[in-house]
Chains A and B, each alone.
Chain A
Amino acid sequence: AQKVTQAQTEISVVEKEDVTLDCVYETRDTTYYLFWYKQPPSGELVFLIRRNSFDEQNEISGRYSWNFQKSTSSFNFTITASQVVDSAVYFCALSEPSQGAQKLVFGQGTRLTINP
């Protein structure tokens, strides 16, 4: 069965610090997709990034960067120079192959608090 583990339940840092959110996944599929979502206090999950299993290139988008390593089944997310607006719950997710619509398996989430 597919599984996503986010071992860090809560992280609290001071503004401008760098912070890395860990994500480890388990799957027997050779083709799969990994996602990160952000959930601010309003409740909506906001899509941040998607990565397919054949693309191990790291990605950078502004202050956000992602490190995908198949050898360790990890897909970690780093925020550089954190800001108060980054405070949210962050979810890592793995897509499960399915006929028709895909199914996402989510990790437990990491609550990130950025203190001014």
Chain B
Amino acid sequence: ETGVTQTPRHLVMGMTNKKSLKCEQHLGHNAMYWYKQSAKKPLELMFVYNFKEQTENNSVPSRFSPECPNSSHLFLHLHTLQPEDSALYLCASSQDGGQGGRPQHFGDGTRLSIL
């Protein structure tokens, strides 16, 4: 059983819909991440949260809106997405003390398809 759980596993939505992706980690970690994985592209870091505070926004369009109510939960709110946003969205968590080096633990991802 994975320590990082993502729901839903699959999501199909129209460009005008609003939906949210959810991530929950059961590992007691303080940092959480959103990544986008498209075909033929490396994994792209989207957002980083550390102790609920956003520390990184990697020039992500505003149609993606993250929310981190506590260190165990992370959401990605989606609104008026484009077909090129179809991808696998991966959530990860890690225990970081500011020195780096701790491995990130990933969820199974949400496969998003935009019609």
Is A100 in contact with B108, judged by CB distance below 8 angstroms?
A: no
Interface residues of B in 72-115 (CB under 8 A from A): 88, 90, 92, 94, 96, 98, 100-109, 111
What are the residues of chain A within 8 A of B50 when measuring CB–CB? 100-101
Stretch at the interface among A20-28, A40-48, A62-70, A71-79: A40-48
**Does B96 contact A101, Cβ atoms closer than 8 Å?**
yes
Residues of A within 8 A of B11 (CB): none
CB closest chain-B residue, reference A9:
B40
A104 interface residue per 8 A CB criterion:
yes
Q: How many A-B residue pairs have CB under 8 A?
A: 74
> Does any Cβ of B come within 8 Å of A83's Cβ?
no
Of A37, A99, A106, the residue contacting B98 (CB under 8 A) is A99
Neighbour of B105 across the interface among A42, A47, A98, A102, CB < 8 A: A47
Q: Are A98 and B101 in contact (CB under 8 A)?
A: no
Whether A109 pairs with B100 at a CB distance below 8 angstroms is no
Across the interface, do B100 and A106 meet the contact criterion of CB distance under 8 Å? no
Q: A50-B101, A101-B48 are in contact. List 10 more A-B contacts (CB 8 A).
A: A44-B106, A44-B108, A46-B106, A91-B43, A100-B48, A100-B51, A102-B100, A102-B102, A103-B48, A109-B43
Listed by A's residue number, 12 A-B pairs whose Cβ atoms lie within 8 Å are A33-B101, A44-B109, A45-B104, A45-B106, A47-B104, A47-B105, A100-B50, A101-B94, A102-B104, A103-B56, A106-B43, A109-B43
